[in-house]
Amino acid sequence: MKKSRIFRKTFFITLFIKQNKWHYYGVLAHTLALVFHLVKNRQFKMIGAGFLHDIAKPIIAFQDDEDKKTNQYSFHNHEELSFFIVRNWPISLYTKNLVRYHYIIRGMQKAKERNQINKYKRMKRSYEKLDKDFIIDLKIFMKYDDLAKKSIFKSAKNS
């Protein structure tokens, strides 16, 4: 019988203890830190996405050979699986879109750096279809998401 992905050791490690070199905390603490920063900086319409943006990470977490050497985890396409999980929930389209696209800017940067031209072009086409005001909100959300990777209670400069 196949073991459920949710009840794997990796699920609990990434949820409660650690993720990777970019995150000081597990997914749960990171999520709470993000919501803290959103509330503190009065970004109330983003709170739902703050709670849900990484909901799929513990489910999709894995270690490739490099991760095993450094005792880290990877979460490829976690934003798409997170969106897939919440797509039929009774929440706003705005929240669903923040969940889905919260990583697109960083994803495009990484694809460009790694010379993954087709992936970059595909992401860029999706990005260019987004509303300009939504892109501004996406950048704000990313700012607090980045802050929550390293610190729970430090303030963002010029917030």
Residue 159 lies in a domain: no
Tokens describing residue 121: 């072009």
| Amino acid 86: pLDDT | 98
d(CA 30, CA 150): 8
Residue 27 lies in a domain: yes
| Amino acid 158: pLDDT | 44
Residue 155 lies in a domain: no
Q: Are 38 and 52 within 8 A, CB to CB? A: no
Q: Are 92 and 70 within 8 A, CB to CB? A: no
Q: Which residues are paired to 32 by β-bridges? A: none
| Amino acid 3: pLDDT | 58
- In this structure, the dihedral spanned by the alpha carbons of residues 18, 23, 29 and 33, taken in order and rounded to 10 degrees, is 180
| CA angle (47, 92, 135) in 5-degree steps | 70
**What residues have CB less than 8 Å from 90, skipping those under 6 apart?**
none
CATH of the domain at 110: 1.10.3210.10
- Structurally, the chain folds into a number of domains equal to 1
d(CA 45, CA 149): 20
d(CA 99, CA 31): 12
CA 70 to chain centre: 21
This prediction has a pTM of 0.87
| Amino acid 147: pLDDT | 93
pLDDT tens, the chain, 159 aa long = 455 666 788 888 787 778 777 777 888 989 999 999 999 999 999 999 999 999 999 998 989 999 899 988 888 889 999 999 999 999 999 999 999 999 999 999 999 999 999 999 999 999 999 999 999 999 999 999 999 988 765 655 544
pLDDT tens digits for 84-107?
A: 999 999 999 999 999 999 999 999
Residue 128 lies in a domain: yes
Domain that holds residue 59: 9-150
Residue 157 lies in a domain: no
Residue 141 lies in a domain: yes
**What residues have CB less than 8 Å from 115, skipping those under 6 apart?**
none
| Amino acid 68: pLDDT | 92
Residue 38 lies in a domain: yes
Residue 31 lies in a domain: yes
